[in-house]
Amino acid sequence: MSLWDTALAALASNQLLAGGVGTLAFGALMYVLRAVPQTVLDFLGRTFWTKVFVESLSNEYRDVDGYIEGKRLNFFSRSLEIKDGGLKTGFGGGWGVYDGKLFHYTKSKMTQGIAPFETITISFFSRDRGLVERFMQDCKP
């Protein structure tokens, strides 16, 4: 009698052992499968969305922030702040349409150093990189 046959015979004769092994196998399967939805969403995000990250240290940051601010009424943003005596887009995110394409923008702030570091992330629902280039050209004053 082999080791495999002995293990199967022990499982068949002991219901408690069979339940424990079944629970262990089910738990391991669920642990492996828990990452599937996030992996699918990441894949779809990389496949259908084109992203551009604009950091506050770059020269284009003020232009992109001003462009988004100028088009604020066409956005679905609820995050606003008062800056330089006027109403500006605040930190957070929103949705908009540019050149007939849906996009999502997020403005975030990190305070790891002495000065705060801000990033604007713009995700276009398109695979066309030319759309991003046109957007960046339209942002220039």
73 in any annotated domain: yes
Q: Return the amino acid letter for 12.
A: A
Whether the Cβ atoms of residue 128 and residue 103 lie closer than 8 Å to each other = no
- In a 3-state reduction of DSSP, which class is residue 59? coil
Domain of 16 in residue numbering reads as 3-34
**Could you tell me if 62 and 20 lie in one domain?**
no
pTM metric for this prediction: 0.65
57 in any annotated domain: yes
- In a 3-state reduction of DSSP, which class is residue 49? coil
Q: Note the pLDDT tens digit of each residue in 47-81.
A: 899 999 999 888 898 898 888 877 764 555 667 77
Separate counts of helices (H) and strands (E) for the chain: 5, 6
Q: Note the pLDDT tens digit of each residue in 84-121.
A: 777 777 788 888 888 888 888 888 888 777 777 889 99
CATH number at residue 59: 3.30.1370
The whole-angstrom separation of Cα 48 and Cα 18 is 46
**Could you tell me if 59 and 23 lie in one domain?**
no
DSSP letter for 111, please: -
**Could you tell me if 15 and 80 lie in one domain?**
no
112 in any annotated domain: yes
CA Rg value for the chain? 26
Task: Tell me which residue has tokens 């990452």.
Answer: 35
The whole-angstrom separation of Cα 57 and Cα 44 is 30
How many folded domains does the chain comprise?
2
**Could you tell me if 29 and 52 lie in one domain?**
no
